[in-house]
Structure 1
Amino acid sequence: MKRIGIIGVGEIGRAIVTGLRHGGDTAPEVYLSPRGARTAAELAERYEDVRVCGDNQEVVDRSDLVILALRRRDWREAVAGLRVPADRIVVNVIPGVGTEELRHALGTDAPITHAIPLPPVRERGSVTVVYPSHPEADAFFERLGGALPVADEAALNIMSALTSTLTSHYAFLSTLTAWAAGHGIPAEDADRFVRGVFQGVGRSLGDESSSLERLAADHETPGGSNERIRTTWFDQANSAALRGALDGLLADLGTGPESDTGTEPETGPGTGRR
């Protein structure tokens, strides 16, 4: 794939461009839309063969594979009037917008695949869920950390719901540091310590030979302090509440209010389709 286009240059767009150049190997040409003008300009200045186009149609015209990384509330305006030839490959990264809905809006016979890239693709450190599988799209995301094709759009929505727990994880860590600070630990020391602890835990996830249950057991002594917090705080009621929140989100995907799986608000000149 020699030419990549990205319409909607927020956090995910930035991560994709960065990931393509991670490690210094040869990267494809990248054409960016004027949406997210500040980020697009920064990337074009930083990387060779990354260019900002005058409008979204130019992105499509110059690209072999076109990534739509738009916010749900903005996507119809952004794609209105676009002409997408059948020989392009469209990657839909818009949360909660199904393939057929997008195809109808674009009026194209081009292959469309839905994908859920996450910010760690900037370091090729995250697998990307895709549906339906397409050889070119799969190969593209393999380069960014791996492609994980799923069976249908329902499975993709389940995976999308899982990504919506990311900021809850950061809020959990923030609560830990605030608790320690409330007990007299300097905030910067608490922050540094908590980051170190959970960076180590994150690295242990790279051992795919151990299940998540096994990893939890390996970090827990029967009757110890880890078991105490897990059983008194993350009890059955807490677990049920989390499952219920995920079930509610899953029911809303595609029909409910806008969601966000990593796209970034697009500010500055060029935020609307031009």
Structure 2
Amino acid sequence: MNSIGVIGVGEIGRALVEGLCGGPGESPEVFLSPRGARTAAELAARFERVRVCADNQEVADRAEIVLVAVRRADRHEALRGLRVGEGKVVVNVMAGVGNDDLRTLLGTTAPLVRAIPLPTVRERASVTVTYPAHPVVDAFFDGLGGSLPVADEAAFNVFSALTGTLTTHYSYLATLTSWAAGRGVPGEDAERYVRGLFQGVGRSLGDESRSLGRLAADHETPKGNNERVRTTWFDDANARALGAVLDGLLADLG
């Protein structure tokens, strides 16, 4: 893998470039589309092997792997007329856009692989779901934290729905901070404590010898504070409501 192209340099595009170019050893050549011009220019200034191309066609012509990371709503305008040779590999990171849709749009016979890279690819610490399995693409994401090929597009969409819960987690932490601040705790102190509390939880997720259910049980004392909050707030009705929201999202993604 000598060259990567990124069409659509938003948050995920930036994270991918930072992960590729910020690690040890020589990075591949990276060609960026002019979409997201400010971010693309900033990345080219930071990293020697990053170039901003004149247009999307130049990206597709110069790169061996072409990552399409434009917003779903913008795909027709952004990709209109783009030609991708059959010797390339196209990685589709657009949420809710299937490979059949993208193949029709591009009119290409090149291999197409869907992927769900997360912002932590910039730290090379993100497991990226892919479909279908492809040796070049899976090796590419292995270098950014790991690849998780799945059996079919239905399974891929389930993982995509799970990704939709990310900002809810951040909002949950912000709500805890606001609750503490509303009861007299200085806001900066509350946020510092909540961040430290859940950073510790995040580190415990690295212990793959214990299931998520086991981790929850190990952090809970019978009739203790954690059990009280879990059983009175995150009760069966709450869990069913979350499941219903995810079912609705999954239906839209399919």
TM-score (norm 1): 0.92
Shift of 1:124: 1.0
2:181 aligned with 1:181: yes
Opposite residue 145 of structure 2, the aligned amino acid is: G
Shift of 1:54: 0.5
| Other-structure match for 1:265 | none
| Other-structure match for 1:260 | none
Query: SS of the residue aligned with 1:151?
Result: coil
**Can you list the C-alpha shifts for 1:155-200, whole angstroms capped at 9, x where unaligned?**
0000000000000000000000000000000000000000000000
| Other-structure match for 2:205 | 205
Opposite residue 29 of structure 1, the aligned amino acid is: E
Query: SS of the residue aligned with 1:85?
Result: coil
Shift of 1:21: 2.4
Query: SS of the residue aligned with 2:91?
Result: strand
> 2:228 & 2:25 partners in 1: Cα distance?
48
Shift of 1:76: 1.2
> 1:217 & 1:21 partners in 2: Cα distance?
40
| Other-structure match for 1:190 | 190
Query: SS of the residue aligned with 1:113?
Result: strand
Opposite residue 242 of structure 2, the aligned amino acid is: L
Opposite residue 174 of structure 1, the aligned amino acid is: A
2:235 aligned with 1:219: no
| Other-structure match for 2:70 | 70
Query: SS of the residue aligned with 1:66?
Result: strand
Q: Which runs of 5+ in 2 are unaligned?
A: none
> 1:134 & 1:35 partners in 2: Cα distance?
27
> 2:227 & 2:10 partners in 1: Cα distance?
40
| CA-atom RMSD in angstroms | 0.7
Opposite residue 120 of structure 1, the aligned amino acid is: T
Query: SS of the residue aligned with 1:185?
Result: coil
Opposite residue 170 of structure 1, the aligned amino acid is: Y
| Other-structure match for 1:99 | 99
Opposite residue 212 of structure 1, the aligned amino acid is: L
Shift of 1:77: 1.1
Query: SS of the residue aligned with 1:114?
Result: strand
Q: Which runs of 5+ in 1 are unaligned?
A: 255-274
Opposite residue 129 of structure 1, the aligned amino acid is: V
4+ residue runs over 3 A deviation: none
**Can you list the C-alpha shifts for 1:99-137, whole angstroms capped at 9, x where unaligned?**
111111111110000000000111011100000011100
**Can you list the C-alpha shifts for 1:15-61, whole angstroms capped at 9, x where unaligned?**
10111123322210000000111110110000111010000000001
> 2:19 & 2:167 partners in 1: Cα distance?
22
Identity %: 69
1:124-135 equivalence runs, <5 A: 124-135=124-135
> 2:113 & 2:137 partners in 1: Cα distance?
7
| Other-structure match for 1:250 | 250
2:31 aligned with 1:26: no
| Other-structure match for 1:152 | 152
| Other-structure match for 1:272 | none
Shift of 1:70: 1.0
1:134-173 equivalence runs, <5 A: 134-173=134-173
> 1:229 & 1:88 partners in 2: Cα distance?
52
> 1:126 & 1:49 partners in 2: Cα distance?
23
Query: SS of the residue aligned with 2:215?
Result: helix
